């Protein structure tokens, strides 16, 4: 087996939660507001439903093909050629998303805190430390999530509490002014982030308590839903109609914090916690890419691939996403259409074929007995 380490289902859930929530809370509010308006905080609900479906599909597939990820059992279900094609498509798209996630980190740090630092330095440092975590194995990653995920949750709670004096309830009214349609349009952007729950397929084979895998996968989705809804709502209540005019509305909302002219300018603290979340996000992406690629090529070890993938990610991120406009184009086109389509339809297709094959095998056994 490529990975000898073991993690708990809770650690898996924390890694999935942290890897998704880190960038979604920054960039989703602005994109969602442009379509859902003041109902942007309700748009993540349909996306969460899709995410729960993916978790259940993958858990069922894992029951049928234990000790294997989607890269491996796709070959058993649809044959070697078809399975390799599915695996290649998924890995290439995950690499595509990894590069964008890395660019988002660099763009955010550069825009708000280190404008004079070359982007390659910012991207290179986070990629290097993330690769070190992946090289240490899944157990190291799980323990890091034990340490850093509570920090993220504490940061979110502090933001909610400190922004209470700046909240204006009238900013969210009227609710359902134009019906459900704007909410569904807003969920168009959040679908991809929630559909990244597909990554649990790469962690399920290494769980100590597999029977709790589905439970904590679903729990992580609900925690993600609550966090994204809360942060979207806070951004709306503080910024009002200006929510859609900022690249990262939540950070702009944090700048409003001023308690008795003493507790203010907390952006650096928020940034420190956010970097911790970005660290989790990148090492989850790199682990999925390294492990998945090793499984695709039938290698005996994924570790030699870790640092080349990290280096490749930095190079492609700078080339693939030249500016904010290009990133928005990706979000509105490729990400929001191709991502959910791949991450939902491929597991559903594989599960249907697996059930059909199983039924045929059962029928043959019945005929042989007769």
HEC readout, the chain: CCCCCCECHHHHHHHHHHHHHHHHHHHHHHHHHHHHHHHHHHCHHHHHHHHHHHHHHHHHHHHHCCCCCHHHHHHHHHCHHHHHHHHHHHHHHHHHHHHHHHHHHHHHHHHHCCCCCCHHHHHHHHHHHHHHHHHHCHHHHHHHHHHHHHHHHHHHHHHHHHCHHHCCHHHHCCCCCCCCHHHHHHHHHHHHHHHHHHHHHHCHHHECCHHHHHHHHHHHHHHHHHHHHHHHHHHHHHHHHHHHHCCCHHHHHHCCCEECCCEECCHHHHHHHHHHHHHHHHHHHHHHHHHHHHHHCCCCCCHHHHHHHHHHHHHHHHHHCCCHHHHHHHHHHHHHHHHHHHHHHHHHHHHHHHHHHHHHHHHHHHHHHC
Q: How many domains does the chain have?
A: 1
> Closest by alpha carbon to 55, among 218, 232, 224?
218
Flag whether 4 is in a domain: no
Flag whether 239 is in a domain: yes
Flag whether 368 is in a domain: no
User: Whole-prediction pTM value?
Assistant: 0.92
What is the predicted pLDDT for the residue at 263?
Answer: 58
What is the predicted pLDDT for the residue at 305?
Answer: 94
Flag whether 367 is in a domain: no
Name residues whose C-beta falls within 8 Å of residue 19's C-beta, 6 or more positions apart in sequence: 196, 199, 280, 281, 284, 285
**Residue ranges of the chain with per-residue pLDDT less than 50:** none
What is the predicted pLDDT for the residue at 365?
Answer: 66
Flag whether 222 is in a domain: yes
235-278, pLDDT tens digit by residue? 888 888 888 777 777 777 777 676 656 555 667 777 777 888 88
Q: What is the CATH number of the domain that holds 134?
A: 1.20.1740.10
Flag whether 369 is in a domain: no
What is the predicted pLDDT for the residue at 35?
Answer: 82
Flag whether 249 is in a domain: yes
What is the predicted pLDDT for the residue at 264?
Answer: 59
Residue range(s) defining the domain that contains residue 327: 9-358
Flag whether 366 is in a domain: no
What does residue 302 show for φ and ψ, rounded to 5 degrees? -95, -15
What is the predicted pLDDT for the residue at 134?
Answer: 95
């Amino acid at each position: 087996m490529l990975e000898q380490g073991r993690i708990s289902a809770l650690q898996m859930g924390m890694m999935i939660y942290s890897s998704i929530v880190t960038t979604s809370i920054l960039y989703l509010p602005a994109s969602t507001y442009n379509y859902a308006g003041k109902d942007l905080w309700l748009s993540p609900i349909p996306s969460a439903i899709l995410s729960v479906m993916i978790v259940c599909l993958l858990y069922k597939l894992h029951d049928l093909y234990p000790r294997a990820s989607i890269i491996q059992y796709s070959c058993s279900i649809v044959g070697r050629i078809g399975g390799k094609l599915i695996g290649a498509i998924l890995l290439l798209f995950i690499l595509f998303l990894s590069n964008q996630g890395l660019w988002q980190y660099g763009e955010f740090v550069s825009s708000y805190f280190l404008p004079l630092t070359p982007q390659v330095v910012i991207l290179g440092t986070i990629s290097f430390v993330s690769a070190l975590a992946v090289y240490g194995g899944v157990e190291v990653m799980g323990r890091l999530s034990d340490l850093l995920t509570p920090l993220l949750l504490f940061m979110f709670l502090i933001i909610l509490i400190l922004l209470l004096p700046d909240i204006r309830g009238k900013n969210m009214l009227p609710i359902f002014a134009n019906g459900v349609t704007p909410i569904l349009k807003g969920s168009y952007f959040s679908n991809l982030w929630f559909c990244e729950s597909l990554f649990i397929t790469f962690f399920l084979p290494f769980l100590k308590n597999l029977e709790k895998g589905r439970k904590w996968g679903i729990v992580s989705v609900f925690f993600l839903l609550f966090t994204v809804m809360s942060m979207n709502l806070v951004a709306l209540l503080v910024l009002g109609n200006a929510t859609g005019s900022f690249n990262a509305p939540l950070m702009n909302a944090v700048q409003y914090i001023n308690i008795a002219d003493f507790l203010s300018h907390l952006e650096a603290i928020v940034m420190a916690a956010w970097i911790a979340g970005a660290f989790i996000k990148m090492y989850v992406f790199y682990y999925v890419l390294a492990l998945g690629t090793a499984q695709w090529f039938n290698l005996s070890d994924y570790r030699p691939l870790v640092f080349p993938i990290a280096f490749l990610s930095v190079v492609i991120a700078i080339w693939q996403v030249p500016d904010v406009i290009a990133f928005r184009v990706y979000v509105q086109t490729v990400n929001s259409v191709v991502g959910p389509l791949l991450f939902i339809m491929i597991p559903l297709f594989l599960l249907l074929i697996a059930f059909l094959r199983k039924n045929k095998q059962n029928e043959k056994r019945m005929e042989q007995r007769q």
